[in-house]
Structure 1
Amino acid sequence: MKSILLGLFSLFISVGAFAQSTDSVWLFSYFVGNGEDGLHLAHSADGFTWNAIDSKASFLKPVLSPDKLMRDPCIIRGKDNRFHMVWTVSWTQRGIGYASSPDLLNWSEQQYIPVMEHEAKARNTWAPEITYDPVQDEYMIYWATTITGTFPETQVQEDNAYNHRMYYVTTKDFKTFSDTKLLYEPGFNCIDASIVPYNAGWLMFIKDETRVPAQKNLKIAFADKLTGPYSAASAPITGKYWAEGPTVTKINGLWTVYFDKYTEHKYGAIQSANLKTWVDVSDKVQLPKGLRHGTVFQVSKAELQKILSAK
C-alpha cells in the first residue's frame, strides 16, 4: 500500500508541479536589493505577466546570521501541504536558513541549518533549493559551496578564487539531516542548481560559473535518482549574455525557464518542447522591478486570494 501511495504522490509531483489546472496560479518567491528586507512574492495567471504582492513590505524578515539576509528564497509545497523555504543567510556563513508556513503569511521560527560548518575551509553556502523525492519519501536540500583547496584545476583569481560545486543533505522532517555529501562535480565551477522531476528520473538546471574563458550560462543534466549520479552537462541552453538563478515550470506543455540576466539588470526566459531546442521569450515576460533570484511554484486561486486580502 505504501508503494502505491508513494507512486500516486510521485505522479502528482511530476505532473502537478508543472501542469497548471484551472484552479491554480503561479507565485514567484524573490528578494530585492541585497536581501536585507526578506521575502517577496509576485503572482501570475499566465506565467508571463507578473504582479508584485505588496512590493513595499516583505512576507518574512530575516533574523539569522550576523548579516541578516534572505537571498535566493526557494519555496516548495511539501507532502504535508506546508510551504517549506530555504535561503542564503549570508555571503560568508557555512549554513542556510529554513522556515515553513501553512499559508505563506504565518511562518515558523527561522532555523539555521549548519550544513557546511564541519568544513573549516568552506567559504560560503549559496542559493539553496529543496526537491522532494517521493520514492525515498524525503527532501533533498542542495546548494553551492567553495571549499578552499578543492578542485584546484578550475580555480581562477578572476572570480576571487570562488570555485563552487553542488552539495546536499536529505531530511524527512527538517529537524534531523543526513551528513553533507557532494552532489555534482561536472568538471567546472558550478552554482544555482534547480532540480525537477523528468519522466521516471530527474532534470537539473545548473549555471556554469566558469570565468576564464567565460561561460556564465545555463546547462542541463539528468539522473535516475535525485541524489545522482548526474550526467555530464549539456551545451548551453542560454545565449551570449550572462545568466544565473534558473527556476522552471511548464506553460502550455512547454518547459519554461526564468533566469536573471544579471549583468543586464533584467530577467529573461526561454522555452522548449523537447529540452533540446530553446526559444528566447524574454520579451514576453513582465516581472516586478528589482526582482532577484527566486523560485516559481503554484497555489490555488483561493490561497492567492487569501494572501491578497491579508496584504
Structure 2
Amino acid sequence: MPTVLSRLATILVSACLLFTSQVVTAPQRAAAADPGYLMTHFIGEGATGQQIYFSHSTDGLNWTDLNGGGMTLRSTVGTKGVRDPALVRAPGGDKYWIIATDLCIGCGQSWDDAVNNGSRNLVVWESTDLVTWSAPRLLNVAGAIPDGRNAWAPEAIWNPETNDYVLYWATNATRNGVLKHRIYYARTTDFRTITTPQVYIDRAGTQGIIDTQIVPVPSGVGDYRYVRASGDGQITLEGSNSILGTWTDLGNLSGIGLTGSQVEGPMWMKFRDRNEWALYLDQYASGRGYMPVLTTNPSTSGTYRLPASGSYNMGGTKKRHGSILNLTAAEESRVLARWPNTAINRLQSFNYQDRYVRHANLDVRIDPNVSPAADAQFRLRPGLAGSGTVSFESVNFPGYFLRHSNFDFQLAYNDGTTQFAQDATFCQVAGLADSAWSSFQSYNHPDRYIRHYAFQLRLDPITTATGRSDATFRVTS
C-alpha cells in the first residue's frame, strides 16, 4: 500500500471507532469458570435445516444457539445439504475437521433416493483454529464398496495403536445376499485419502445399523477403554479395549424405556468436572430433537437414567444428530467471538429506496423485491482486518463476505488471508448524502467507498453529488 494510503488507513480506523461501537457489540463470555462445550448439529429438513449449526453450553446440559440460531457453515458441493456432522480434533489440537452426510431430503431428493441411490461421498471441512474453515470438499468413501448405495452418519476417532483416525459410517449394500445398512470403516490421516473400506459392524440377519458413536473411557471406570452406542433397533451398548478389536455386547437402554424406534443419533459427552457422561439421543419419532441420558459408567446399562424434568434446555433450535467437543479456554474464546448473536440487517439504497444490496450467483448489486429474501440479508461483523470496522457476512451463505476485487464487488468465501480480510473490511461513517444514513469506506483503499453504478456494487472515489447518493445506505432490519 502506498505511504499516503497507509496513513489514511490509520486515520480511518481511529475515526471509525466511535461510529461502529454503536453497531457491533462484543460477544458475551461464558459465565462458567471452566470452558464449556461446543455442539455441531443440523436442525431439520430442507436446504436451510440440513446445514451446519453450532451451539454452546457452559454446563453440558443447557445450550445456547450460536450465530443467533443461524447456520454457521453451508455445503455448496454434492447434494448441497448435510446431516449428521461429526467434529474431530487432532490429538495436538492444531487441526479440526467436520465430516458430514452428503444428503438433502426435500431438496430434489427423496428418502428412497437417499437409501438406494444416494451420495457415496461425505462432505469435509477443515480448520486450524475452529473458526476459519476451508471450503467444503467431497470424500468418496462408499464408491469402492460392492453395491454400495450411500454413505451416512460418519464418525471418526483417533486410534493410538495405529497413529491415524478410524473413519466409520453406514452404507446400504448387498453382502451375502442381504441388502441392508452396515457400518464400514477406513483409516486416514488427513480425511483426503482413505484405506479400502472394511465391514466394521454387521448385525445378524436382516437387522440394519445406521448410527454409532464411540467414547473413550478413562482407567478405573468400567472394564473397557471404549464404549460405543448404536442405533440398531435398540440403542445397543458395546465395550472394547481396542477400537479395531473385539467388541462385547453390554446391553441396551430398553430398561429405561428407550429403543431404536423412539430415538437415534447417539452423541456422547463427558462432563469436564466429574466422572459422568451424557448420551444425547435424538427423539426423532416424536420430532423433539436431542435429550440427554446420564450415566456414571458408560459400560453398565443399569447406570443410565433419564434426566429430571427441567434439568436441561436445548435452546431455540431443534438439535439433531451431531457431536460435542469439550472446549479449551482458547477455543471457547475464539468460537464465541466468531459467532455471537449479531443482528440480521439489510442495506437499503438512499437514492433507490425500493432497492437493497443483494448477492445473485455471487455477484453483488441492488435490486427491488429480492427473492429469496435471505440473499439481501447480512450480519455486520467486527471487521476482519481491524477493530472499529465492519465486514458483511451473508446470512444464507455463512463464511461468505462482501469483498472488492479490482474495485468490483462479489460475495466470496473467506480464505483466511490478509488480503481477503482487507478487501472485505470497511469503516461505517456518516452517510455522504445524508448523515442520518451510512456510507462505507474501504479499509485498504480509504479514498474509495462502496457505491452502486448501473445497480452494480463498485468501490469508487466519490467526487459528485450523484456519487454521494450512490454511496449512501441505510442499515435496516
- Normalising by structure 2, report the TM-score: 0.54
Q: Are residues 126 and 233 of structure 1, via their aligned partners in 2, closer, same or farther at CA, if it must alter by over 3 Å?
A: farther
Moved more, 253-262 or 22-31: 22-31
Q: Which runs of 5+ in 2 are unaligned?
A: 1-31, 104-113, 340-477
Q: 2:323 aligns with which of 279, 284, 295?
A: 295
Matched, 1:257 2:257: no
For the pair shown, the structure with the greater C-alpha radius of gyration is 2
Q: Which runs of 5+ in 1 are unaligned?
A: 1-20, 156-162, 209-214
Aligned-pair Cα RMSD in Å: 2.2
SS of the residue 1:295 aligns to = strand
| Alpha-carbon distance between aligned partners in 1 of 2:182 and 2:250, rounded to the nearest angstrom | 13
Letter in 1 for 2:278: T
Identity %: 25
Q: In structure 2, what is the equivalent of residue 211 of structure 1?
A: none
Q: In structure 1, what is the equivalent of residue 125 of structure 2?
A: 99
**For residues 205-243 of structure 1, what are the alpha-carbon distances to aligned partners after superposition, in whole Å with 9 as ceiling and x for unaligned?**
1111xxxxxx3x311112232123322362335524611
1:22, distance to aligned residue in structure 2 (A): 5.4
Q: In structure 2, what is the equivalent of residue 86 of structure 1?
A: 99
| Alpha-carbon distance between aligned partners in 2 of 1:71 and 1:35, rounded to the nearest angstrom | 11
Q: In structure 2, what is the equivalent of residue 239 of structure 1?
A: 257
1:79, distance to aligned residue in structure 2 (A): 1.9
SS of the residue 1:190 aligns to = coil
Matched, 1:190 2:209: yes
| Alpha-carbon distance between aligned partners in 2 of 1:83 and 1:35, rounded to the nearest angstrom | 27
Matched, 1:179 2:203: no
| Alpha-carbon distance between aligned partners in 2 of 1:71 and 1:240, rounded to the nearest angstrom | 23
| Alpha-carbon distance between aligned partners in 2 of 1:132 and 1:145, rounded to the nearest angstrom | 21
1:48, distance to aligned residue in structure 2 (A): 0.8
Would you say the 8 A contact 1:85–1:98 is kept in 2?
A: yes
Would you say the 8 A contact 2:145–2:197 is kept in 1?
A: no
Would you say the 8 A contact 1:186–1:232 is kept in 2?
A: no
1:171, distance to aligned residue in structure 2 (A): 0.8
**For residues 15-47 of structure 1, what are the alpha-carbon distances to aligned partners after superposition, in whole Å with 9 as ceiling and x for unaligned?**
xxxxxx953211110012237342111111111
SS of the residue 1:306 aligns to = helix
| Alpha-carbon distance between aligned partners in 2 of 1:119 and 1:77, rounded to the nearest angstrom | 27
| Alpha-carbon distance between aligned partners in 2 of 1:244 and 1:282, rounded to the nearest angstrom | 20
Q: In structure 2, what is the equivalent of residue 69 of structure 1?
A: 81
Q: Are residues 151 and 205 of structure 1, via their aligned partners in 2, closer, same or farther at CA, if it must alter by over 3 Å?
A: farther
Q: In structure 1, what is the equivalent of residue 138 of structure 2?
A: 112
| Alpha-carbon distance between aligned partners in 2 of 1:203 and 1:256, rounded to the nearest angstrom | 13
SS of the residue 1:280 aligns to = coil
| Alpha-carbon distance between aligned partners in 2 of 1:119 and 1:302, rounded to the nearest angstrom | 41
Would you say the 8 A contact 1:270–1:282 is kept in 2?
A: no
| Alpha-carbon distance between aligned partners in 2 of 1:281 and 1:304, rounded to the nearest angstrom | 26
> How does 1:272-287 map onto structure 2 within 5 Å?
272-274=295-297, 275-277=300-302, 278-281=304-307, 283=309, 284-287=311-314
| Alpha-carbon distance between aligned partners in 1 of 2:301 and 2:208, rounded to the nearest angstrom | 23
Q: In structure 1, what is the equivalent of residue 168 of structure 2?
A: 142
SS of the residue 1:74 aligns to = strand
Would you say the 8 A contact 2:250–2:301 is kept in 1?
A: no
Letter in 2 for 1:249: M
Letter in 2 for 1:254: E
Letter in 2 for 1:261: Q
Letter in 1 for 2:87: I
Q: In structure 2, what is the equivalent of residue 25 of structure 1?
A: 36
- Normalising by structure 1, report the TM-score: 0.81
| Alpha-carbon distance between aligned partners in 2 of 1:270 and 1:151, rounded to the nearest angstrom | 37
1:112, distance to aligned residue in structure 2 (A): 1.2
| Alpha-carbon distance between aligned partners in 1 of 2:151 and 2:257, rounded to the nearest angstrom | 27
Q: In structure 1, what is the equivalent of residue 66 of structure 2?
A: 53
| Alpha-carbon distance between aligned partners in 2 of 1:269 and 1:119, rounded to the nearest angstrom | 35
Paired residues in the alignment total 274
Moved more, 31-40 or 89-98: 31-40
| Alpha-carbon distance between aligned partners in 1 of 2:242 and 2:164, rounded to the nearest angstrom | 12
Would you say the 8 A contact 2:142–2:149 is kept in 1?
A: no
Q: Are residues 32 and 224 of structure 1, via their aligned partners in 2, closer, same or farther at CA, if it must alter by over 3 Å?
A: same
